[in-house]
Chains A and B, each alone.
Chain A
Amino acid sequence: MKNDCVYCQMIADKEKEKIYEDEKVVVVLDDKPAGPGHLLVMPKQHYPIMEQVPDFIMSHAFTIANKMSIALFESLNAQGTNIVVNNGLAGGQESAHFMINVIARREGDGMNFQWVPRQLSEEEMSTIELQMKEQTKTIGEFQSEKAKPIEMETKVRRIPAGSEDRENYLVKRFIKIP
């Protein structure tokens, strides 16, 4: 828990009304919502951005986000839902505690998440494709949760051949003993 994080404080606050809570995540209503039915799904632990959230927390948090979306459909007559993450300041993130927005949508609610498509040439798209492919090579060995996790500072995950990136530094911090 970060003492100066309002969301960490909220999570720890027994008085604060939680819509859902388990050992990994907490769901609260946004008290300045986009509209009626705006939920925030947050890991209990403080991670500023998504890249720092362990894989098994990611999968769990979004599984809960899906359930919250269903709850909005079923209990508040939502006609649609949006699930939005603002990751990083440039991504529009407003507080340093990673969270998932789950927002109920209704006809004529005045919200608009539709972007204006950029015109990119075939050549530009091909370049982008190659740049992305280069960086996605290391995706694939996901961190899973173990029953009794023990924090290890030094243990390093096996890195797929050909990737000497320093990106796996996070793993050093968060990896659990198999």
Chain B
Amino acid sequence: MPEITEEQLKNMTPEQIAEMQKQNCIFCHIVSGKVASKKVYEDDKVTVILDINPANPGHSVIIPKEHYAIMPQIPEDILGHIFMVAKGISHACLKAFKAQGTNIFIANGVVAGQRAQHFMVHVIPRKENDGIKIFQIPHKDVSEDQLAKLSSILKAKVNQMMGIKEEVLDLDNIKKPEIKKEEEPTEAPEEGKEEPQEENKEEDVKTLLGGKEEPEEEKVPETEKEEEIDIDKIAELFK
């Protein structure tokens, strides 16, 4: 990789920058076959390989063939395809290893654990008592007030996003966390915009919500029995 000056970088087209990123991306090299890997599935849009640092045997990663650093860059048809494949890979894990469950895991951003500059989706086969605890999502008690506040902020944002679809995929906005919107013709959502107060939120995590149902309690009635298939057994474990 030849040195590139800032001046040169400025003069590069987005296509050239993308090309440069690809040349430096090990996952692009895996897709092209320049770097060896254990491929378990491939089609025109994705390559699926075994993770070399697996959480469990069979841990696979789905890699889009195109280079996308972050999830919001991925066109919807590719994104949709990735997760249909993810379901298939999960099913394959259940069958290949007699797994009793799986995890789908995605890290967006370094803070969330993203290591590579190439978007990927992890599919991890799970067995009872396999010792993996990290995917157990923690639950905290938060006040109704805080939930209501989060709800109004998020809802305003989502309404705005879904209303003006083009704005959503503006990558410059996604990369910087600050909400610095130039005057937007939208009225309502921007008006009541509150500054998120992270400190308060973290400290606010005390009040117990009374009377809320515990999801753990719930039961599933017998699903229609067809043939005895691992999927049905797994689905019925909730009883």
Residues of A bordering B, CB below 8 Å: 2, 4-7, 17, 19-20, 27, 29-39, 48-53, 55-56, 58-63, 66-96, 100-101, 103, 105-107, 111-118, 120, 124-126, 128-129, 131-136, 138-140, 142, 165-167, 169-170, 172-173
Contacts and interface: CB of A to CB of B under 8 A. Distances in A.
Nearest to B95: A135
Contact of A70 (B72, B99, B128): B72
Interface string B41-77: 1010000101001111110100000000001101010
Contacts of B134: 112-115
Contacts of A34: 137-140
Interface stretch (B5-13, B14-22, B23-31, B142-150): B142-150
Contact of A48 (B48, B80, B93, B235): B235
A136 B139 contact: no
B135 A86 contact: yes
Interface of B: 38-41, 43, 48, 50, 53-58, 60, 71-72, 74, 76, 79-97, 99-114, 124, 126-128, 130, 132, 134-142, 146-148, 150-151, 153-158, 161-162, 168, 173-174, 177-179, 196, 198, 201-202, 209, 212-213, 215-221, 223, 226-227, 229, 231, 234-238
A126 B50 CA distance: 10
Nearest to B238: A96
Nearest to B80: A59
Interface SS majority for chain B:
mixed
B158 A33 contact: no
Contacts, number: 340
Interface SS majority for chain A:
mixed
Given A53-B87, A91-B103, A139-B41, A7 B215 contact: yes
